[in-house]
Amino acid sequence: MTLAEAPLVLMLIGLTAYAVLGGADFGAAFWQLGGRSRARRDHAYEAMGPVWEANHVWLVFVLTVCWTAYPEAFASIFSTLTIPLFVAGLGIVLRGTAYAVHAGTAREIERRSVDAVFSLSSILTPFALGAAIGGIASGRVPVGNAEGDLLTSWVNPTSFAVGVVAVVTGAYLAAVYLAGDAARAGRDDLVAAFRMRALAAGAVAGATALTGLVVVSLDAERLRDGLFGPPALLAVIGSGVAGLGTLELVRRRRFEAARYLASAAVAAIVVGWALAQRPELLPGLTVEEAAAGRPTLLATVVGVALGALVVVPSLVLLFGLVLRGRFDREAARTGMERRSIAATSRPRPLLGAALLALAVGLPLTVLPAGGPVQAVGVVALLAFVALGSVALGSAAARADAG
């Protein structure tokens, strides 16, 4: 791996995470479509509630690394695939809004209409994103500002196949995860419902993936040659084997293991695609040619590594809490009294510090034009805002108590 390829590897990791986690969130909404069982729909909402926003950030991560490290490729992709990507963007807005609104629904009719928007946008978005990926994979995005065909770049057999695979895979992953969550919560009725759905969706996903391979071979010559070459073929076969293994695990009700193996199956597809297309990012544009200059690539890789130091433990914490059932409805505990501290109010020293900060900050901000002295002044002013708000705010809130 060269430095020029390093950000691409990061993007593929991000894309896999988005497909596995975000894809499952889309899939959870898929199962709400037309679902008559209120319990099932609630279960899907509750399962994704704490995680969908974090899962969504993977998409943003992929985009930002792409436009930093491979700016021309990013611009070519977005200007040619403008329609499916814009549709996906609108789908994301509708979905997020429906999610936010869902918390306030009371009557069944409200609930049903919100669910409908939620489900439809959750099918539309992965399909549109998949169609865009199909356009890239089948070599329909030339380098340049909207140089490709705005329509056939995504209305074509490969795009359609990838779009369908994206939707079905998400539904499959979601069913596996939801069955696992239900098992943890001890909801046998839900376990049965989602296990059955997982088995069915798994079979459909396998069939769709195989059909997709045939479609791609007929439609995209270059991609076919890549996919059936040694390294990519290994990934494709690996994905198939992992997929079959997941089905067997679901059948045996070993949902936690299935969760991880299913994710591996999806990851293998992403890796296979990348290997098949190597070394080209877009037709006539290799990864090396598309890559930004060395300082930018280095800064990106180092920046992501530093960011990962913060984000990976945070994600582990979040998913640990979720998977251990700490956010489940039943987990609300009542034994959490707080140690009552005698109301020692200290507004005066705080207020004094705030006024001191103001006395320093005001002249130092107003008088100099730039330079470190002014910087000190601005920091002092901000300190005034923070200290003053805390001192006055807590005093005012408490003064009111009597």
Contact 193, 40 (CB under 8 A): yes
Contact 47, 252 (CB under 8 A): no
**Contact call for residue 390 and other proteins (CB under 8 A):** yes
Least distance from other proteins to the Cβ atom of residue 101, Å: 5
> Among residues 105, 121, 111, which one has the least CA distance to residue 56?
121
Site for other proteins in 49-88 (CB under 8 A): 49-51, 53-54, 56-57, 59-61, 63-65, 67-69, 71-72, 74-80, 82-83, 85-86, 88
Least distance from other proteins to the Cβ atom of residue 239, Å: 27
Instruction: Give the dihedral of Cα atoms 307, 310, 315, 318; nearest 10 deg.
Output: -150
Burial 359-385 (b: 16+ CB within 10 A, else e): ebbeebbeeeeeeeeeeebeebbebbe
**Contact call for residue 113 and other proteins (CB under 8 A):** no
> Among residues 169, 239, 191, which one has the least CA distance to residue 24?
169
Which tokens belong to 381? 């002013």
Interface pick for other proteins out of 12, 33, 101, 323 (rule CB under 8 A): 101
Which tokens belong to 284? 């006539």
Closer residue to other proteins (CB): 229 or 349 = 349
What letter does residue 280 receive in the DSSP assignment?
E
Site for other proteins in 327-366 (CB under 8 A): 327, 331-338, 340-341, 343-344, 362, 365-366
Interface pick for other proteins out of 37, 89, 218, 348 (rule CB under 8 A): 89
Closer residue to other proteins (CB): 46 or 241 = 46
Interface pick for other proteins out of 229, 349, 352, 393 (rule CB under 8 A): 393
**Contact call for residue 104 and other proteins (CB under 8 A):** yes
Stretch in the footprint of other proteins (CB under 8 A) among 48-56, 163-171, 221-229, 232-240: 48-56
Which tokens belong to 296? 């930018």
Which tokens belong to 395? 């005093």
Contact 172, 199 (CB under 8 A): no
Least distance from other proteins to the Cβ atom of residue 96, Å: 3
**Contact call for residue 323 and other proteins (CB under 8 A):** no
**Contact call for residue 90 and other proteins (CB under 8 A):** yes
Give the max Cα distance, the chain. 79
> Among residues 205, 36, 173, 7, which one has the least CA distance to residue 112?
36
**Contact call for residue 21 and other proteins (CB under 8 A):** no
Closer residue to other proteins (CB): 233 or 301 = 301
**Contact call for residue 152 and other proteins (CB under 8 A):** no
Number of residues forming the site for other proteins (CB under 8 A):
106
- Annotate each residue in 287-316 with x if it binds other proteins (CB under 8 A) or - if it does not, as one string: -----xx-xx--xx--xx--x--xx--xx-
Closer residue to other proteins (CB): 88 or 235 = 88
d(CA 201, CA 171): 7
d(CA 377, CA 143): 49
* Phi and psi angles of residue 11, each rounded to the nearest 5 degrees, phi first: -65, -40
**Contact call for residue 95 and other proteins (CB under 8 A):** yes
Interface pick for other proteins out of 36, 109, 369, 372 (rule CB under 8 A): 369
